Amino acid sequence: MTKLKNDRYLRALLKKTLDCTPVWIMRQAGRYLPEYRAIRSMAGDFMSLCKNAELSSELTIQPLRRFPLDAAILFSDILTIPDAMGLGLYFKEGEGPKFQNPITCKADIDKIKLPDPECELQYVMNAIRQTCKNLEDTVPLIGFSGSPWTLATYMIEGGSSRNFSKIKKLMYTEPKTLHLLLKKLSATISKYLNAQIQAGIHSVIIFDTWGGILTPCNYNLFSLQYMHKVIDGLSTENDGCRIPVTIFAKNAGMWIENIAETGCDAIGLDWTIKISDAKKRVGKKVAIQGNMDPSVLYAKPQRIRKEVEKILENFGNGTGHIFSLGHGIHPDVSPENVSVFIDAVHELSKVYHSK
């Protein structure tokens, strides 16, 4: 498959045989690590970290120095694309991401230019190339983007939202206008992820963080069909190696059969669905990533191990499972508990790969 020293993650995505279940963590490069906080305090604002190839690479690799993780995920952000489209991304302390120039009407969408990944987003490609060099073929490097719908929510709401009233108003009053934006985003995301693949990424994830706020009909119309378009536009092979694609869909457990039909290789689950039920519903069509509640990592080691064991038992024998949290790790989790979690996955999963 690859020349990587540890390719468990890729093998699981492609449902090949394994010695144990691979594990990685959403936001594994983050505030729960003191070494991350040290660099963050020196670098200033968040986007300065993302736009510095050396710092981005360092933060990507930091968790691998502490833990025997089976994959690295690029230190970046899903909102790099809207920023490159001219919306002016910034981060306000305690409030999350904000845009200086949010989308307010069709005219704003008409004037959006599709960014060139090796121009406006070259800093991401530089970070990938630097990280691949620094990883020295130890583990796969994951690249990612937000889904078209998820990016659109931030672009129209102007940042994070509780009720998503602006984008839902547009969806119900001017659906053609929203579709125009989603089409532009789909084309841009495919181009962006293809550039990541060419730069050295081994696998990509599409984060559909906010698809779960939609009704079933609107999920198909405004989220699912555009992720399908993104995947249709991907070049899922590089240097003779397959590049697997994962869709992570938060609060979208009711639609996993439909997600499995997009052409993705794996579905990432949050913790609101039982992994054995998901496995029955999608069969052997796709691999499954997930899905421990991040809050379990507050527990004592014995309870953490028990929760890991429960999910492994629910998935059962065989490959096609990538163990991860059902969403990002909380910033006040103890790194010692993370170590317990990762070791438990590797240790307790061996029995499920011995038959």
Start-to-end Cα distance in the chain: 22
Residue matched to tokens 């694609």: 245
Beta bridge partners of residue 90, listed in sequence order: 98
> Does 77 appear as a known binding residue?
yes
Q: Which position among 8, 11, 40, 305 bears the catalytic label?
A: 40
| C-alpha span between 255 and 289 (Å, rounded) | 15
Q: How crowded is the C-beta side of 228, counted as CA atoms within 13 Å? A: 12
CA 307 from chain center: how many Å? 23
CB atoms within 10 A of CB 116: 14
Active-site option among 31, 66, 129, 303: 31
- Does 28 carry a binding-site annotation? yes
Task: Judge whether 209 is annotated as a binding position.
Answer: yes
Does 246 count as an annotated binding residue? no
Q: What is the DSSP letter of 285?
A: S
CB 35 within 8 A of CB 81: no
Structure tokens at 322: 């990538």
State the DSSP code for 96. E
Cα–Cα distance for residue pair 334/33, rounded to 1 Å: 8
Q: Residue 297 contacts by C-beta under 8 Å, 6 or more apart in sequence?
A: 304, 325, 329, 330, 333, 334, 337, 338, 341
Catalytic-role residue among 9, 154, 219, 226: 154
- From the candidates 7, 70, 77, 83, which is the catalytic residue? 77
| Under 8 Å between Cβ of 199 and 125 | yes
Q: Which residues contact 97 (CB under 8 A, 6 or more apart)?
A: 77, 79, 89, 90, 91, 154, 159, 160
Residue 242 in marked binding region:
no
Element holding 342 (H helix, E strand):
helix 335-349
Known active-site residue 11: no
User: Shortest CA distance to 147 belongs to which of 210, 85, 217?
Assistant: 210
**What residue has token string 């052409």?**
263
Is 8 annotated as contributing to ligand binding?
Answer: no
Concerning whether 27 is annotated as a catalytic residue, the answer is yes
| Residue 65, annotated as binding a ligand | no
Q: Which of 333, 296, 328, 324 is nearest to 33 (CA)?
A: 333
Q: How many angstroms separate the CA atoms of 195 and 205, rounded?
A: 14
Q: Note if 8 is an active site residue.
A: no
Catalytic residues, by residue number, are: 27, 31, 40, 77, 154
Binding residues for substrate: 27-31, 77, 154, 209, 327
Binding residues: 27-31, 77, 154, 209, 327
